[in-house]
Amino acid sequence: MNVRSKAYQDAASLFRCLSPDDWRRVSAADVLSVPGCGKTFLRRLRLYLARHAVSLRGDNPPAYWLRVLRPDGSGEVSGVCPFRIVVDVNETLPFSWDAIRDSDGRPITVPMIRRAMWRDGLADYSIDGMEHLIQIERKGDDLPSSLAQRRDEFEGEIRRLSEYCEFAAVVVEHPWRDFLRDDHEHGARARSISRTVLQWQVLYPGVHWWFCEGRHHAENVAFRLLERFWWAKQRETITKGGE
């Protein structure tokens, strides 16, 4: 970041920022509202501030930007996910995350680790270090059978996730209409599936249900839920640190 550039001087003057610490009261949206200060400028500013242990108001912590922005100051995103996704060892067909992209369309590398979360009664996906805070259960063609042959076991899992996690979700690889056709050979019938899902959403409000348009959509939904939760926790840490 060239602090003598016209863009920086204009923004610093507008927001009366005489030192890096003054930028704490300025949001990313505020910066982008300044003529001449686009996304590239914002990235460079974030990296500059992160090197001074400062972040913009409501933004991710300095450690995040130091990790995901290139150290050469080019302002380009490196394409590395700032957290590691935990995948249960019993997940037989895990998401590959190879189609995840950032807001500018660049691919993101998502690190993963396999762990036996089932031993603690947990689901298929979480964030390393936050396993008891957020959980995501993936379902595909096995949803009808889970609601029939292993209904009690599945309900017990949903109950645990609702009680123990701050956020939990069931991400289904099929749209709702696929199950309402009632043409699957095994498991619960359409009316039973519909009533059970609605009932469980009322009984276990901590678990959110997502019926997706295929596996690709489900993978993206699962990643974005994990991503949004991680960001929220980073911002929460910043807020507590400033109290």
**Domain boundary pick from 78, 110, 125:** 78
pLDDT at residue number 183: 60
pLDDT at residue number 190: 78
73 and 96 part of one domain: no
Amino acid at 224: R
**What does pTM read for this prediction?**
0.69
97 located within any domain: yes
153 and 224 part of one domain: yes
pLDDT at residue number 61: 86
Report how far apart, in Å, the C-alpha atoms of 126 and of each of 112, 133, 218, 222 are: 10, 8, 15, 9
Q: Structural domain of residue 56, as residue ranges?
A: 6-78
- Which residues lie below 8 Å from residue 199, measured CB to CB, with a gap of 6+? none
pLDDT in tens, the chain (243 residues): 778 888 899 999 999 999 999 999 999 989 999 988 888 889 889 988 988 889 999 888 888 888 777 654 444 444 678 899 999 999 988 999 988 887 767 778 888 999 999 888 889 999 999 999 999 999 998 898 898 888 999 999 999 999 999 999 999 999 988 887 766 555 567 778 889 999 999 999 999 999 999 999 999 999 999 999 998 888 787 666 655
Query: What pairs with residue 208 in β-bridges?
Result: 169
pLDDT at residue number 210: 97
191 located within any domain: yes
115 and 144 part of one domain: yes
**Domain boundary pick from 78, 109, 130:** 78
**Domain boundary pick from 23, 52, 78:** 78
14 and 114 part of one domain: no
**How many domains does the chain contain in total?**
2
Are 77 and 106 contacting, i.e. CB atoms less than 8 angstroms apart?
A: yes
- Which residues lie below 8 Å from residue 87, measured CB to CB, with a gap of 6+? 94, 95, 112, 113, 114, 115, 124, 125
Nearest-angstrom CA–CA distance, 110 and 106: 13
- Which residues lie below 8 Å from residue 105, measured CB to CB, with a gap of 6+? none
Q: In angstroms, how far apart are the furthest CA atoms of the chain?
A: 69
